[in-house]
Structure 1
Amino acid sequence: MTSPPPDNMTSSPVNITSPPLNATSAPPLTTMSPPGNVTSPPANGTSVQPVITTGAPATTAAPSAESRIMLEFRLQQDFIPQLENKSSQEFQTLASKVVTSLNEVYRNIFGIIFLRALINSFSQGSVVVDAELLFNNATSVPGSSDVENALVNAPSNSSFSLPLNVSSVVATRVTTSTAAPISVPTMPVSSAASTAAPTMALTATGASTAAPTMAPTATAASTAPAVMTTVTTATNPASTDPPTSSEGTLGLQFSLDQTFTPDLAISSSTAFTTLAATVVEAINVIGNRLYGTSFVRSIVNSFQSGSVVVNMTLVFNNGNSVPSASTATSQFSTELSSSSLNVIPGSVSAQSTSSASSSPPRPTMGTLAVFSLTLLAVAQRLIEL
């Protein structure tokens, strides 16, 4: 038969000679920037170079200075030189133990507004702990007295295992100062990096075959002024106002094991004010722990030689809240024996204010006149004899 062969016997498959449909289409986005083409020139010299940013993990901003509380206290244990080295096993072990205890204490008290505790250093005497407490923000930071009291009361919980010297706890709020900003030199920024990085776009005719350059990531220096931070106390200095007529008072005397210097007898001297502030701070912590809100404040009246004799007045809410002199003597003797004031054992004595001022009465003008007349009468009588 002479019938022609089927049509598909001699015709080529359509897709054998046809170019692939995607031959001129843009390559996949993930292959646009191979490492080897980082320095290849752009296709259009006048166009802004597209920038591809790497997927660096997001970082959480460090807590601001205002959201921190500096915390210092002493542990009643022997100091070893290895604790000065942050990379030592001894430092790491003790730091972990202290952080765990602090986190438990302050999370129980302040809840979610408390973030975590940090250890800055350990120093000698016995072991002085320099730590920081981080809170959510500046408005969530509690008062320093609340922070101190929370740690002072922690040993009453059986789960608290630190050998804490409760009279050594000092909390300090960190605040920013208004000092002039520090000028920061800026590094030159290329024009390509100074503009907003355009997103990768495809033209209507297809993407450019030139590989885009990678934008430098570390050339844009921050021009924001630096802020200088200083450490200041979160609360005002302890009040040393004289007691009012409605408040109750109790005298307290004890001796410090340190050398007396003449300037300690001058209430306006630097030595007096410095030592008085240290003593008042320690006594206020003890008074608040012993008597709670009934205790108001303490006042240093004078320092005397032998070694350094401290004469104080303890102020209470009213006369009914004043403890007896014998009870206060026993309580303060116990508390001061473990304090940082180096009190000489057996030197603590409390006195009621009525008996504390037992000096003899000063003579008045009337008594002097009567005494003079008596002398004249005696002299006259002797003359007559």
Structure 2
Amino acid sequence: MEWRIIVPLLCLIGILHVPGNAAQTSTNGTNSTFDIVFHINLEFKDVYSNINNNETIQLKQNITTQVVPVYSGLKNFQSFDILAFRNGSIAVEGKLYFNSSDAKPIVANLTQLLHDATFTFTLNKTLTKITEVIPAAVLPNASATAPPPAKTAVALAFKINQEFNDTYSNLSHPVTQELTKNIINAVSPVYRRFPKFLGMVIKKLSRGSIAVESEIQFEATNGTSPNLTEVKNALAEAVASGNVSIPVNASTITATDVSSSNGTVTNTTNSTTNTTVSTTATPPTKIATINVVFKMNQTFNETYSNNSHPDTIQLSNTIVNSVSPFYRRKFLLFLSMLIRSFSRGSIVVDSVLQFDASNGTSPNLTEVKNTLIEAAGNLSFQIDTTSINVTDISSSGTTTATTTSAATTLASSVIAEYNITFKLRDTFTSELANISSPTSKALEKNISDQCGVAYKYIRGFIRMVVRKYSNGSILVDGSLQFNKTISTPTVADLAKILADNVRNGTVTLQIDPTTIKVTDASGNVANKSPVLASMLTAFWMTLASLLLSAVMH
């Protein structure tokens, strides 16, 4: 073989082996079914072996109505069906159905969504198993997958006594998604007593205060539909008795049968269901950021000074999971709660509440404070209500969600998080050792804003979070957060984008681009140091030289 062929071939091989240059491909989704098995820590009863037993049906409905909202955020989700229960605390065996309107779900993401969710029962997360069912067309000897159960649907309409926001007209907007989730969580328990109840779907929100158009779906294997008067009265009675957490105007409730003639929900309905939450959602145009500081009546642990320690993360998640629901019920524009840091005195919690301020308004600080005071008696931990301090730290004129960073955040079901470190060419001061100091907060805001500029064109980018600073000029340790239902960029792309923006002057921070290092949750690493590239180049050039020499001799 001539050397003129060997050398280009070696160069091509070298390019293909450099990390971050490998081509990535994706495939369009097809109709997909996944077997799902998970275990809940409840005592198994013999009657659960009979799927048609009344007590078993009630358990099935309870679990189904809690699991369906977990996956309803996936654009092509169709339904979840429980097939059987078996002993082992209670092992739930079922199927997840998806259509071809979007890419095929990833098993790891389906598992993570289930594990990140909050239920009235406790999951044994070590025993969860989700596997894709191979279609008969791919595996000739396999039996065909059973279709989802037939459904019947009732159109349920009502008004909520709250001010309408223009963003609610877009069912794909994150604020609308949060509102629809709150409505479903508030109303679904009302219908769990109905036989064969499957779930609730929000179809449309419109003006007048907030006019809700929804569907209540039931399994229709026996060809019957629920009584419309009972459906209407169930919600009206729940509202009158104070058992619905949203302010529904009971006089506006209407119920209409919208099922097709064969007792199933039509494809049009399924399509609308899938668009209730879309993967093309865009972040709010402006975020209102409220700093909330309070004391917990617990003993401070030294590990709480380390935001990356498992004990600290667990405490952060406990607080966020406990407090967030109270703000969701009180504030329709509530987005999230972030824990910034813990410090001594019993445990001083420095946190941030984020609200959608796209309409130009921020929440009332007194209401924010009073919400936490009122919630204190219903939390799993004790708060000193006299210590609660609330401050608006929103940046005027800010138009992206990147303005606010936090030391520790709740890893929600839609967040893909990347660790990022780099050095700033500046002098480290003792104040930067305290992430809550004014100096740290000022630098934190600057870094978050600048990184927001660099990554704003990547779909799904949420924010840059600074976790800590350390000595070595100034070593910044943080995380980049993305909505993983929209995009999951590679570590190589993220490292390159920031380095390029530093070099071309778009990012004005004095970042040393050769120190940028990005790591994803799977441990994949990319950095912009020239050392690795130089070593690979030298290696391939040496190898090419040796082979060329061998051919010529």
Looking at both structures, which has the greater relative contact order when contacts are Cα pairs under 8 Å and sequence separation is at least 6?
1
Q: Which has the larger radius of gyration?
A: 1
User: What TM-score do you get using the length of structure 1 for normalisation?
Assistant: 0.31
Instruction: Name the one with the larger strand percent.
Output: 2
User: What TM-score do you get using the length of structure 2 for normalisation?
Assistant: 0.22
